[in-house]
Chain A
Amino acid sequence: MQNNDKHLHEPRIQITKRGREAMPWYKAWGVRAAAIVLALIVCAVIIVFLTGYNPIRVYSEMLKGTFGSSRKIWNTLQKLAMLLCISLAVTPAFKMKFWNIGAEGQTLVGGLAAAACMIYFGETVPGIILFPLMAASCMLAGMIWGIIPAYFKAKFNTNETLFTLMMNYVAMQIVSFCIVFWENPKDSNTVGVINRMTEGGWLPTIFGQKYLLNILIVAVLTVAMYIYLRYSKQGYEISVVGESENTARYVGINVKKVILRTMALSGALCGIAGFLLVSGTDHTINTNTVGGMGFTAIMVSWLAKFNPIVMALTSFLIVFLERGAGEIATTFQLNESVSDILTGIILFFIIGSEFFVQYKINFRKGHKEEKV
C-alpha cells in the first residue's frame, strides 16, 4: 500500500538539463530546423486565411522579393550586413550576461557622429583624414553611450537592462534635437541627403557596387569577432564572467574591468554600424535610421548562441523574412506590418525549440514497477 502511494506522487514527466552530455550538433540543428519548418507552416496557414492565396505562391513571391534581381540581392546583402554588424556588437556583452538592449541608441549616436562630421568637415577636409576621423568619432560616441550604463552596473549594480533601454530614447531625442539645426531645406524637419553634390564623407563605391565596402567591412568584423571570442584571453575572460562572476573573481579576473572593457567594445562596434549606416548607406540621419535593428540584433545574436559565423545565417533568416514579407505586402496589397507578425511567429518557435535542445524529457515508465 505504501509502495503504491509513493508511485502516485511521482511526477509523470521529469525534465533534466543536458549538462555534459549535450545533444550532438546535428540533432540540435535538426530540432531548430524542424522548428523553423513548423513556424513556416503556421505562417502559411495565417497567410492563406488573410489573402486566400496558395501559400507556395506566397513563399515564392518572398524569394522573388529577396533575390529577384541583382539590385534586390545587393539590397538584401546590405541589410544583412547592417543587422549582422549590430548583432556582432551586442554579442560580447551578452556572452558576459550583460543584457545590453541599448544597441539601438549606441548605433544611433554613432550615426549622429558620422552625420556631424559629414556636415561640418565633409566638404573641406580631404578623405584621407576625414574617414579615420569619422570612424574614430563614431566609435567614441557609441563607446560613451555603452560605458555609461556599464559604469553604474560595475560600481552600483544598477540594472543594465532598464538603463540601456532608457538610453535608446535619450539618443533618439538628441537626434531630433540636432535635426532642428541641420535641417535642409529649412522647416522640413529632415536633414535630407548630406553633401548631395560633392558626396563629401560618403564611403566610396568600389568595383561599381556602392554597398560592397560595407559588406566587406562587416565580413572582416565577423571573422575578427569569432577569433576574439574564441581564441583571445579577453574573450575567455568574458565567458568566465558570463558563466559565474564568483568564479571569475576567484581566479583573479577583475570583473569590473571586464564589464567596462566589454561594453566599450560593444558600444564602439555599434558606433561602426552607425558609421556604415549614415556614411555608407543612407547619407542622412533621422530618428529611425537604425529602425529597430538594435532590438532585432539581440534576437539574432541569441538565436546564433553567440557564434558570429552562425549569426550570418540567423540574420539572413530575419532579413529574408523582412524583405520577403515586404514583397508580399505590395503584391497582395497588404499592410507592411505583416513581416513583423511572421518574424514574431518564427522567433517564438525557435525560442521554444531551444528547450528541447537544452533539456531532456523523461517520461515515467512506472507501470512495470507498480505490478511488482
Chain B
Amino acid sequence: MIATVINKAIAQGIPLLFGSTGEIITEKSGNLNLGIPGIMYMGGSCGVIGAYLYEQAVETPQAFWCIVIPLLASLIGSTLAALIYSFLTITLRANQNVTGLALTTFGVGFGDFFGGSMTKIFADGGNLSVKTTADYFKTTLPFADNFGAFGEIFLSHGFLAYAAVIIALLASWFLNHTRAGLHLRSVGENPATADAAGINVTKYKYLATCIGGAIAGLGGLYFIMDYTGGSWTSGGFGDRGWLAIALVIFALWKPNVGILGSFVFGGLYIAYSYISGLSRSAVAIFNMLPYVVTIIVLIFTSVRSKKENQPPQSLGLPYFREER
C-alpha cells in the first residue's frame, strides 16, 4: 500500500522535477521564464505529434524509432519555444514577465490545438492516441517485480523518470563544481560584473534558457507518454507548469533538493485519494498545500535572508551593457 503511494507520488513528481530543473538553470542566468508552463505543453504536444506521424507512416513501428522520434520532436519543440523567449528578452530586451506570459498563452494554445485537432487535420478525426509509442516509453526494468516493495518504488518507472533524476543531479554538479557553472551563476547574480570579467553574458543567457527549456519540455513528454499512456486530453496537464515554478522556490534554487521536493509535491498532489473519509472540501484544502508551503518557504527565505538561499540577484532584470 505505502509502496503504491510512493510510486504514484514519484510518477506525479517527475514532470515537476523536469520543469523545475529546467527553470532553475534558466533562472540561474537571471531569466525568470514564466513561459515554462507553455514550454512544457509544447514539449509534450510536439512529442505526441512526432509519435503520431511516425505511427501513421510505417506499418509496424519499431521500438528504437518510437523512442527517438518523439524525444527529438519534443526537444526541438521546447527548445524553439525557449529560443523565442530568449530572442525577445535577451536580444530585444523585452520585459521578461510579459514575454513569459505570452509564451505560456502561445504554448498552451499550441499544445491543446495540436493535441485536440491533430487527427482532424491529418486523418479522420477522433481522439489523438499514440498507445504503441507510449508503451515503449512505459517499459520498465524486467526484473522490477522480483524485488517487492523496493522494486515497486524504485524500479518500476519508465526510463524518462530515471533521466529526470540524473539530469537534476548533473545540473546540481554543473552549477556547483564546474567553471561554466560558476560563470552561469555569476551572470545571474550580477551580469555587469560577469561582463567585466570577460564572461560572454549573452551566450550564457541564451544557452541556459534554451537548455533549461529543453529539459522542462521533457516533463511534458513524460506526462503525456508515461503518465497518461499516450492520449492527449485538452487541459489535462493542468497547473503542473506553475507548480514546477513553485518547486524552484521550494528547492531554494538547488536541483538536487528539487528531486526530493518533487516527490513531496507529487505526494501532496495525490495524498487526498489515499486518505479515506476525506470530504470534497478537505480535498480542496489538500490541493492548496503545495502552494501554501511554497509561500511559507518564500517568506522564510526572505526573512532569514541567508545569502546562499536567495533567488539570483538580478532575476527578472534585463541586462544592457551600455545602460548604466
Q: Give complex CA distance A333, B87 in Å.
A: 34
Asked whether, in the complex, the Cβ of B102 is within 8 Å of the Cβ of A156, the reply is no
Q: Does A226 contact B (CB under 8 A)?
A: no
Q: Is B117 an interface residue (CB 8 A)?
A: yes
- Of A109-117, A157-165, A200-208, the one contacting chain B is A157-165
Within 8 A of A (CB), among B266-324: 279-281, 284-285, 287-288, 291-292, 294-295, 298-299, 302-303, 305, 311, 315-316, 320, 322-323
**Contact present for B106 and A344 (CB under 8 Å):** yes
Instruction: Determine whether the beta carbon of B106 is less than 8 Å from that of A340.
Output: yes
B136 part of interface (Cβ distance < 8 Å): no
B92 interfacial contact with A, CB 8 Å: yes
**CB-CB nearest in chain A for B97:** A99
Contact of A340 among B113, B295, B305 (CB under 8 A): B113
Q: Which one of A16, A168, A180, A358 lies within 8 Å of B280 (CB-CB)?
A: A180
Task: Tell whether B159 is near chain A: CB-to-CB under 8 Å.
Answer: no
**Of A228-236, A275-283, A349-357, the one with at least 4 CB within 8 A of chain B:** A349-357
Answer whether A173 and B287 are a contact pair too, CB < 8 Å, given A299-B98, A355-B92.
yes
Instruction: Name the distance in Å between A188's Cβ and chain B's nearest Cβ.
Output: 12
Tell me whether B239 and A169 are in contact (CB under 8 A): yes
List residues of chain A with CB within 8 A of the CB of B110: 337, 340-341, 344
Number of chain A interface residues as a range: 35 or more
Q: How far is the CA of A15 from the CA of B93 in the complex (A)?
A: 11
Which chain B residues border A158 with CB–CB below 8 Å? 298-299, 302-303
Q: Which residue of B lies closest to A350 (CB)?
A: B102
Contact in complex: A341, B106 (CB < 8 Å): yes
Interface size of B as a range: 35 or more
B203 within 8 A of A: no
For B6, list chain A residues within 8 Å (CB).
none
Query: Looking across the interface, which residue of chain A has its beta carbon closest to that of B316?
Result: A161
**Cβ distance A333 to chain B, nearest Cβ, rounded Å:** 7
Prevailing SS type, chain A contact patch: helix
Cα A165 to Cα B285 with chains together (Å): 18
Q: Which of B50-58, B141-149, B161-169, B242-250 contacts A (4 or more CB under 8 A)?
A: B242-250
Interface contact A344-B97, CB-CB below 8 Å: no
Q: Quick check: is A348 within 8 A (CB to CB) of the other chain? A: yes
Known contacts A158-B298, A334-B117; A343/B105 CB under 8 A: yes
**Residue A177 at the chain B interface, CB threshold 8 Å:** yes
CB under 8 Å from chain B, chain A span 293-338: 295-296, 298-299, 302-303, 333-335, 337-338
Residue of A161, A302, A335 touching B112 (CB-CB under 8 A): A335
Which residues of the partner chain A approach B104 to less than 8 Å between Cβ atoms? Answer: 295
B40 on the A face (CB < 8 A): no
Minimum distance in angstroms from A267 CB to a CB of chain B: 16
| Chain B residue with Cβ nearest A169 | B291
Judged by a CB distance under 8 angstroms, whether A167 is at the interface is yes
A136 and B196 alpha carbons, distance in the complex (Å): 54
Chain B proximity mask over A23-49: 1 for CB below 8 Å, otherwise 0: 000000000000000000000000000
5 interchain residue pairs of minimum CB distance: A340-B109, A344-B106, A173-B288, A347-B102, A355-B92
